[in-house]
Structure 1
C-alpha cells in the first residue's frame, strides 16, 4: 500500500487525480471482496450453476442500461453528484444482499447495485478531465493499478469475512463503499469545466448505445471492448467451478488465487505500463495483451495440475491487466473533452453487457455431473479471443493514435 501511494504521489497530475485514484482503490476494494464469494453465495441459496450465472448477469444487464445514462448525466450536471449516487447505491445494495433471506432478495440487490453502478465510468471521466493526452495512458494505468490493488486486498478481506459467513462479505463491502462515498463528498472537487448542453432532459443516452457504435474511431473500440469483455466474463465465471471441482481446491485457496491475480496486476500496471508505453504505441500493446490472453485461455485447462495452472495464470494476469487500460485510453484520446462522460459511460455499458453474456454462455456449457465440461469455456474463450485479436489487427488504422 505504501509503495502504491508513493508511486501515485510521484506520478499523479494533481491533487484531484490522487483523490480519484484513492476513491477508485476503495471502490475496487469493495467490489473485489465479492468476487470470490458470489458463486458460493448463490449456491448457498440452492441455485444451480446456470442460475448462479444469471446472478452474475443480473448485475451486468442493469449496468448496461444504467452506465450510459449516468455518463450522460455526468456530462450535464457534473461528475461529483453522479459518483455520489453510484456509491450510495452500492452501499444500500450490499446491505440488502448481505442480509438476504431468499434468492429473490439477492437477485434484487444485485440489480440495484447494477442500476446505480456507474462509479467506474464517472471515475474514468474524471481522469480524462484532469490529465493531458500525453499522460492519459499513464493515468488510466494508475487507475487500473488502483483496481489491481483492490484485487490484492479485497480477497484478503473477503477471506476474513468468510470466517463469519458468506453474507458478511457483502456487509464489509458495503461498509468500504461507504468510506468511498464519504471521501467523495468531503474531498473530491468537481472536475467538469464545460458542461454539455442539457437539450432534451429525457434524452439520457440510451439511444447512444446504438449510435455509439457508429462514432468514428470510438465505435470499433466499443465493439472490441464488448467482445473481449464477453470472453473474459466466460473465463471469470468458469474459473471458479473449475478451480473448486476439477483442481479440487478449497474456497480459501480460490480466494488466494484472486489475491495473486491482484498482485501481478498491480506490478504490471504500476511498472509495466510506463515501460511499455515508452517502447510501443498503445495499439501494439493492446494487440500483444489480447494475444497472450487468448493463448493463456487455451493453455490453462490442458493439464489438470494446480502448479501448472498457477504458473499459466500468472503469465495471463501480467498481460490481461493491460487490456482495459489500453482500450479506455484509446477511447478517451479519440473523443472530444465535452463527451468524456458519455463515451466512458458507453465503454462501461458495453463492458457490462458483455459480463451478462459471458457467464450465461459458460453456465450453459458446464454441467456439474460432468466435471470435464468445466474446461470447455476456457477453450471457447481462447478461440473467440483470437478472433477478436484478428478484428483488432484488421481495424487498427481506425483507432490508432500517434
Structure 2
C-alpha cells in the first residue's frame, strides 16, 4: 500500500468520524423540533435520496476531471450543511441542511474510486478491508466525540461534525495528489452528467447485478439502522448516552473484524463466500434481536451482529471494483454509492411506517422484517453467483 492509499484511508476515517458523530443524535434532534417517528424517518431519507441523484454525477465527473476536485466539493458541502443544521431554528432548515449534505455527498464513492486507482486487483480486497477499517474507526471515535458534544447540546454535535469535515477538506487540499491516470473522454453534451447511468449502469456486465443486490442489502440494513434507535430507547428504556455507547461498541467490533478478521478469512475463503457469511449472520441477528426485550440479551446479539455485519460492505465493494473496467471505476463506485443511498432513503420510511408510538410492540416489527428480507437477499446473491464471481476465484 503506497502513500496515496494511506492518505485516502485517513480521509475515509475523517469522513466517517464526521458522519458517525451525527448518527446517534439525528433521531433525538428531530424530536426536539416536534417531529413524529415517521417524520424523523424522512429526515434520514431526504439525505439519502439527495445522495442517490448526486453520487452518479460526482462519480462520472471524477472519471472525467479527476478525483481530487470532486472530493473537495463534496467535503465542502458537508461542512456548510452541518453548520446550517447545528444552528437551525426550524425543522425546515434542518431538512434543508440534510438535503444539502446529501446532494454534495459523494465523498465516499470518490474515496473508493481512489482505492481502486492505487491498488492492484490482487490486493484490492485487502485495500477495501483497510479502507473499511479506517471508516470503521470513525464509528469508534465518532460516537465517543458525539457523547462529549452532547454535553453541550445536540446541535453542537453538528458543529463538531462540520469542523471534522473541514479537517478532511484541508488534508485533501494539501496532501492528496490526483490519482486518476487516464481520464474519461469529455462529454459531447454538457448535460451528460451520469444520471442516465442510473438506468444504463444496471446493464453493465457483472456490475449491474451487484448494484441490484447491494440496493437490497442497503434497504434491509437501513430498516434496521433506523428501527434500532426507537426500539433501543422506547422498548429497552435506554437514553441518548447508552445509545451512543452502542454505536461505539458497533464501531470497535467492526474495526477488529475489518482489520484482522477480513485478513484471516481472505486467506481461507473467497470473497463471495465471505459475503454470504456476513449476510447470513446479519439476517439471523435481526430476527433474534427483538425476541426478548432485555438489554443484556440485546447487547449479546448486537456483538454477534457487529462482528459479521462489517464483512458485507467491503466484500461487495471489492466485487464491484474487480468487475468494473479501469476507466469506469469512478462511475461504478458512484453508481454503487447512489443505489446504496436510495436504499438508505427507502429503509427508514419502511421502518417508520411500521412503528406506532401508541403500540410499543410495533417497534420490533421492522427488525423482524429486516431479518426476513436479508435472508431473501442472501438467496438472491447465491442464485446469481455465476454472474458476478470474479475469475481470480
Instruction: Give the whole-Å Cα distance in 2 for the aligned partners of 1:353 and 1:99.
Output: 27
In structure 2, the residue matched to 1:304 is 293
In structure 2, the residue matched to 1:238 is 227
Q: For residues 359-395 of structure 1, what are the alpha-carbon distances to aligned partners after superposition, in whole Å with 9 as ceiling and x for unaligned?
A: 0000000011111100000000011001000000000
In structure 2, the residue matched to 1:144 is 132
In structure 1, the residue matched to 2:261 is 272
Which runs of structure 2 are paired with 1:135-174 in the superposition (5 Å)?
135-174=123-162
In structure 2, the residue matched to 1:183 is 171
SS in 1 for 2:122: helix
Q: Which runs of 5+ in 1 are unaligned?
A: 1-12
Pair 1:281-2:270 in alignment = yes
In structure 2, the residue matched to 1:10 is none
| CA deviation after TM superposition for structure 1 residue 340, in Å | 0.4
Instruction: Give the whole-Å Cα distance in 1 for the aligned partners of 2:231 and 2:336.
Output: 29
Instruction: Give the whole-Å Cα distance in 1 for the aligned partners of 2:210 and 2:112.
Output: 16
In structure 2, the residue matched to 1:370 is 359
Instruction: Give the whole-Å Cα distance in 1 for the aligned partners of 2:35 and 2:234.
Output: 16
SS in 1 for 2:123: helix
Instruction: Give the whole-Å Cα distance in 2 for the aligned partners of 1:101 and 1:132.
Output: 49
| TM-score normalised by structure 1 residue count | 0.97
- Out of 180, 199, 202, which is 2:187 matched to? 199
Instruction: Give the whole-Å Cα distance in 2 for the aligned partners of 1:168 and 1:41.
Output: 11
Which runs of structure 2 are paired with 1:251-400 in the superposition (5 Å)?
251-400=240-389
Q: For residues 55-89 of structure 1, what are the alpha-carbon distances to aligned partners after superposition, in whole Å with 9 as ceiling and x for unaligned?
A: 00000000000000000000000000000000000
Pair 1:228-2:228 in alignment = no
In structure 2, the residue matched to 1:121 is 109
Please identify runs of 4+ aligned residues in structure 1 that moved more than 2 A: none
In structure 1, the residue matched to 2:43 is 55
Question: What is the RMSD of the two structures over their aligned residues, measured on CA atoms?
Answer: 0.5
| CA deviation after TM superposition for structure 1 residue 199, in Å | 2.2
| CA deviation after TM superposition for structure 1 residue 34, in Å | 0.1
| CA deviation after TM superposition for structure 1 residue 147, in Å | 1.2
| CA deviation after TM superposition for structure 1 residue 216, in Å | 1.4
Instruction: Give the whole-Å Cα distance in 2 for the aligned partners of 1:292 and 1:210.
Output: 31
In structure 1, the residue matched to 2:98 is 110
| TM-score normalised by structure 2 residue count | 0.99
- Out of 83, 89, 97, which is 2:77 matched to? 89
- Count residues in correspondence: 390
SS in 2 for 1:133: coil
